[in-house]
Amino acid sequence: MLEFWHHRTRRLKLLISFALALAIVLMVVLLPLGASALTITISGPTSVDKLNTMCLTTTLTFQSGERIPIANIQAIISGATNITIEFDTNGNVTSVTGDLDASHIGASISRMETYDYGYGYMVGYQSGYGYGFGYGYGYSAADTVVRYVICFDSDYLTPGDHNLQVKVNTGESVKPSFSSGLHAFHVDGETITLYAGWNNVNWQRPAATFLEVDNLIGNIGVLSWWDRANQRYESYVHGFPWNEDFITNPGDAVWVYKTTTETFEM
């Protein structure tokens, strides 16, 4: 009888230990997902003219008592143009992927405020060191608010509707990232007149094949451009079955032969 109670007590202790361990795991994993440890909002203009710079303010609000490392910050542009810009913790652009490269987007990020570091509790996050640009966490009764200004050039964005989303990557497996909502903005293109006959056009859009340029502009007879690498003109003739489909890159000067006079939003 004594042995029976001994086994029963032992099993009960094991169950209690397991339940406590499970509760701790759930607290560590689920609490950061449910709590607003970091909220991100975007404010600023909702339209930009081509050839101007778009600047938007991103506000990071760290919940009091939270300590959240920032591995990098991403500005994700979607819509008429799709680009992801990544900034490191020193404010440098580390990568640009999508429809444009770094030389055609002119992106930058700067922090508006300086702030001290405190010793708030970490809720489900691993510790981080080397506090520099981007590291921030609550350390008092109030939340810690840090604002960044993200700017990018609109020179080569496609005219039309876009969205910006800011994503903060932590580098931690428990909560890899925090994301803002979408900030909608419109890019107003530059209207140019293409006359019947030859026109010299500075291509101020993402890279496109000559076939895509033909479809975008319409009523084209011939497209021609100077191939700097091979030191010769290359041409595309509308409707010609043996065309080689060359690429028009942002900033390229392209000769366009139009069959009619029309306007085009560059």
Q: What pLDDT sits at residue 69?
A: 76
Q: What pLDDT sits at residue 31?
A: 39
Give yes or no for residue 80 having a pLDDT over 50: yes
Is the backbone of residue 218 left (phi > 0), alpha (psi -120 to 50) or beta? left
**What φ, ψ does residue 94 adopt, rounded to 5°?**
-100, -25
User: Taking residues 223-246, what's their average pLDDT?
Assistant: 83
Q: What pLDDT sits at residue 7?
A: 52
Question: Which amino acid, one-letter code, is at 247?
Answer: I
Give yes or no for residue 266 having a pLDDT over 70: yes
CA angle 56, 58, 64 (to 5 degrees): 165
The whole-angstrom separation of Cα 14 and Cα 17 is: 5
Give yes or no for residue 35 having a pLDDT over 50: no
Q: What pLDDT sits at residue 45?
A: 97
Give yes or no for residue 149 having a pLDDT over 90: yes
Q: What token pair was written down for 262?
A: 């029309």
Q: What pLDDT sits at residue 16?
A: 58
Range picked from 49-63, 117-131, 135-149, 183-197 for highest mean pLDDT: 183-197
Q: What pLDDT sits at residue 116?
A: 45
Domains of the chain (ranges; CATH) run 37-188 (2.60.40.10), 191-265 (no CATH)
85: confidence class by pLDDT, cuts 50, 70, 90: very high
Average pLDDT, the chain: 79
Contacts 24+ apart (CB under 8 A), 211-219: 211/236, 211/243, 211/245, 213/248, 213/254, 214/238, 216/264, 217/256, 217/258, 217/264, 218/262, 219/258, 219/259, 219/260, 219/262
Q: What pLDDT sits at residue 216?
A: 92
Q: What pLDDT sits at residue 86?
A: 97
* DSSP, res 133: T
20: confidence class by pLDDT, cuts 50, 70, 90: low
